[in-house]
A and B are shown apart, each in its own frame.
Chain A
Amino acid sequence: MSFNQAIETAPPAVPLTVRFGGWGTGLMLLAVWLLLIAATSLYRPDFFSHQTVLAVTFTMAVVGVLAIGQGIVAMSGGFIDLSQPANMILASLVAVRLSEAGMPLAVVIVGAILAGMLWGAFNAAIIVFGKLNPVIVTLATNFIGLAALFLVFQLAEVPIGSEIYHFGRASFLGLPAIFWPMLALVLVVGFLVPRTRYGRRMIAVGGNRAAAKARGISLKATRFATFMAAGGFVGFAAVLFAATAGPFNPGSANTLQLNIIAGVILAGISLAGGRGNFWMLLLSVGFLSTIPTSLVFFGLSSDTQSIFQGFILVIAVAIDGWRARRATP
């Protein structure tokens, strides 16, 4: 089925079923995640260690924040933002340049977020004024952005010993310092989206554009707001990325893309818009980030991780499709 048909035929969102469906996804995710942890621990009891928690939570931090951005785009009916890699490298470069100039961490963070929001606005402008589909627009802007970045720089790295460098290596309450902002952001966004006027507008536009428009919601303004917000999250993810990555190049973010989209889909945030719960991202991103760690404990090559992650995604969306089909007569 094409996306447009899905949108036109999607029934108006019913909050109760939305929440119920969300929790069902959550329980299932939690179950498979625990199963994975249990299986790995049975095979290798030392899997249950602080080091494992650190490895998984570090990976979760960058992926989680990017997934918020992706989730916002999906939920508002923008399907997918394929330009996240270009956006993140751009914002990371801004973070590096600012930290090289000796700016305090707060300025670095604000600069990267602004760069991300600017990118989001750039996407939104093309989408809104050209009335073009976001998937195609962001596919194009990712091509353009990455190529332009290649012409600008080959390698960048935050200065060793700078504030942002230490931020990337610090820990707080036994977990990585970069994990806490991700956790807070997921919780806050997940809390605010269904409970604020802006959040509900976003869901309404994602669920049924025509109905939202009829209710007087400005589609253009919502579109700008969602893409700039999503870009801002990518900008913040870039701070976490630059803080931890060491030297990176314009191609360093490409491998993250599929994992993030997978995280959003597994969390039950519908790519067709209007449906999903951001809190589920903690489970889906946590589960996906645990898989590679587990495989290392099983002694399997890291190449095998894509096989597992890929087929899990296929099975998950198949189940999702099955449930949706049974729910609609």
Chain B
Amino acid sequence: MLRNTTTRTLAMMALSVPAILGLAGVAEAQDKFKLGMAVGGNTCCEWMKSQGDVARALAEKEGWDYVELSNNNDPATALKNAQIFVQEGVDAVIQFNGQPSSNPAISAVMKQAGVPIVTYDIADPGMYFVGIDNLAAGIAGGEGLGAIVKEKWACNPDLVISAEGAAAGIVNEWRTGGMRTGLKNVCPDIPAEKWVSFESQGDAAVGLPAARDLLAAHPDAKKIAVVGLNDGGVLALINAAEQLGRADEVIGWGQDGAFITGDNVNPHLAGSVFYFLEGYAVYAIKDVIKPIAEGKEVPLKADAGDPASKVQPCPVTAEQAKAVPDMAERVKQLLAAPAGTTEYELFCPNKG
């Protein structure tokens, strides 16, 4: 009995495969413009999920179809998602790929299928670049920190610590390197031996032990300036300093503005640089996707120096950041604003 049923099922399966394959060749009729979005899917950051939410809301406003996938912070998954977008017949793709090592392969897939793709923040020659100039954002943050270091310590800190996150690749080098450059622009004479770094993994909780170890290895440093690839990494060092009883004279300046709004801001985080990452879709749609949807030719600008759409960094001190609403509120206001309005225009307290 059991054997018969199973055999029959198997036989049916085998026979139906060719029929199905034939059916599949008939593509579904499509008239609406279809936008694909691959979110980063790294668990580190709230904004990764919000990037998708904003893109979805804006696409719906435009009356487009919208498909969202998550790259799961995995290079192989990002490549697979690109193939699924092509299969689903999307007309354009936006991605945040926190594992940019797979970008060349994704580019190749997209190019072959003739689907334009926008990439956020991490450039690839085959993709429209939308995002921040990470190096410029780093320098802006470094100069903000420099102003405080100059005023408080006359440019003479005991130690400058950089919270690195090697997994972010070149972005990490641009941001932390930029911050060091910015700090040097203001305080050129900090001697080389005072610059040290630790691997924060860009996560306050994960980077904490390494931060404590680094502080232990520099037991005499009191006036400590901290830069980092994101607010989380800088917070790892600040929390470590609090735990080792050395936070009195720690001044941190982060990037991305993740932990400088709301009512739980660490007092040693003196400033950060807002990118308003959650609202990037505004730029991508305004400058790339919508023109493509309207049938216009959009030149491929793939370089971070000459991008398809440039996000302005918004360096803020902790004081200025108090005027900026938290992310959930920002998203609400952004979606209520007229089409094309950027978060920079809405929220940046000191537009340069």
Contact = CB atoms under 8 A, between A and B. Distances in A.
A9 interface: no
B6 interface: no
A23 B259 CA distance: 48
A302 B259 CA distance: 25
B219 interface: yes
Contacts of A249: 43-45, 203, 205
Interface residues of A, number: 40
A54 B259 contact: no
B215 A252 contact: no
A251 interface: yes
B264 A159 contact: yes
A251 B219 contact: no
Overall SS of chain B's interface: helix
Given A46-B219, A252-B203, A292 B266 contact: no
A59 B209 contact: yes
B243 A58 contact: yes
A69 interface: no
B232 A302 contact: no
B43 A245 contact: no
Nearest to A297: B217
Interface stretch (A27-35, A75-83, A168-176, A215-223): A168-176
Given A150-B43, A160-B266, A297-B217, A247 B204 contact: yes
Sorting the interface of chain B by its residue count into under 10, 10 to 19, 20 to 34 or 35 or more gives 35 or more
B46 A55 contact: no
Contacts of A50: 219
A246 interface: yes
A4 interface: no
A168 B212 contact: no
A293 interface: yes
Interface string B206-227: 1011101111110100000000
Contact of A296 (B201, B205, B216, B235): B216
Contacts of B219: 46, 49-52
Interface string A49-89: 11110110011000000000000000000000000000000
A265 B217 CA distance: 29
Contact of A51 (B204, B216, B264): B216
B244 interface: yes
A250 interface: yes
A67 B300 CA distance: 54
A53 B104 CA distance: 47
B55 to A, nearest CB: 17
Contacts of A245: 204-205, 208, 239
B25 interface: no
B18 interface: no
A250 B43 contact: yes
Contacts of B128: none
Given A157-B264, A246-B236, A252-B206, A54 B212 contact: yes
B242 A155 contact: no
A249 B44 CA distance: 6
A229 to B, nearest CB: 25
A50 B199 CA distance: 23
A54 B219 CA distance: 11
A246 B243 contact: no
Contacts of A52: 216, 219
A328 interface: no
A248 interface: yes
A176 B264 contact: no
Contacts of A59: 209, 212
A154 interface: yes
B182 to A, nearest CB: 25
B198 interface: yes
A46 B219 CA distance: 8
A301 B239 CA distance: 21
Contacts of B208: 244-246
A50 B49 CA distance: 42
Contacts of B242: 169
25 contacts: A51-B216, A51-B244, A52-B219, A54-B243, A55-B212, A157-B264, A160-B264, A168-B243, A241-B205, A245-B205, A245-B239, A246-B239, A247-B232, A248-B205, A249-B205, A250-B43, A252-B206, A253-B205, A255-B206, A289-B209, A292-B213, A296-B210, A297-B217, A302-B210, A303-B199
Given A54-B243, A246-B239, A252-B203, 11 more contacts: A54-B212, A59-B209, A154-B46, A171-B245, A246-B205, A247-B205, A249-B43, A249-B205, A296-B213, A302-B210, A303-B166
| Shortest beta-carbon contacts, A-B, top 3 | A251-B43, A245-B205, A248-B205
Interface of B: 43-46, 49, 166, 198-199, 201, 203-206, 208-210, 212-217, 219, 232, 235-236, 238-239, 242-245, 259, 264-267
